[in-house]
Amino acid sequence: MQDAMVTTALTLPGFRVVRNLGVVRGITVRSRSIVGNLFGGLQSLFGGNITIYTNLCERARSDTYRLMCEHAQQQGANAIISVRYDATELMAGLTEVLCYGTAVIVERERPGASP
């Protein structure tokens, strides 16, 4: 699915929703490794961006986004609206990351058509 067809908005400009296929999601559970905790702890001593955790978070979000898009395509969607992320700490060092939205089928709006 093209990134341009995925939005956090309730609508997709230039398109109209012709069918709602329901909620789709991608989920991943990540843990910090002992090595990651060690390097993260060292980086935190100096302040600023703790890149090892930033990279872990970005990878988790990217994976869940991809899984959500795959789920939508399996449902026959050509777009996803109302996309959101959520994260929950399941236990110390173990985090669930969820990306979800509404899978829809959209058609391009006709220029000059009345609403």
Cα–Cα distance measured from residue 82 to residue 100, given in angstroms and rounded to the nearest whole number? 8
Q: Which residues are registered as beta bridge partners of 94? A: 31, 91
Instruction: Specify the DSSP class assigned to residue 44.
Output: H
Average pLDDT estimate for 46-50: 62
Contact 60, 30 (CB under 8 A): yes
- pLDDT in the model for residue 102: 98
Average pLDDT estimate for 95-109: 96
Tokens of 15: 């398109």
What's the pLDDT tens digit per position in 58-101? 999 999 999 999 999 999 999 999 999 999 988 877 889 999 99
Where does residue 23 rank: exposed (0-12), middle (13-18), buried (19+ CB within 10 A)?
middle
- Which region among 3-7, 24-28, 36-40 has the lowest average model confidence (pLDDT)? 36-40
Could you tell me the domains of the chain?
3-108 (3.30.110.70)
